[in-house]
Amino acid sequence: MQADREKTLRLLRTARGQIDGIIKMVEADRYCIDISTQLMATQSILGRINADVLKAHMEHCVRTAVESGSEDEKHEKLAEVERVIDKLTR
């Protein structure tokens, strides 16, 4: 993985802690808006992590493929990016 490993792990652990907190909120039958707020905060962190990972992929893996001169490798990496974009827009 080309993204900042320690930053990624720290953010993932934060998201895990938030999810654990959300589970406790649901178990305690907390107010729906409070649960929703925490869910959105967790989604935001996961979105930032994903953006960092994808940016690092573009800066390293895709750039390397493009600079390699191999048409097959270029097409493969660009197809991967297209598939990710399709998933993100669903």
The CATH architecture that domain 5-88 belongs to is Up-down Bundle (1.20)
Confidence of residue 13 (pLDDT cuts 50, 70, 90): very high
Write b or e for each residue in 11-43: b if 16 or more Cβ atoms lie within 10 A of its Cβ, otherwise e: beeebeebeeebeebeeeeeeeeebeebeeebe
In the prediction, which pLDDT does 3 show?
81
Q: Per-domain residue ranges for the chain?
A: 5-88
pTM for the whole structure: 0.83
Residues 35-62 have pLDDT tens digits of 999 999 999 999 999 999 999 999 998 8
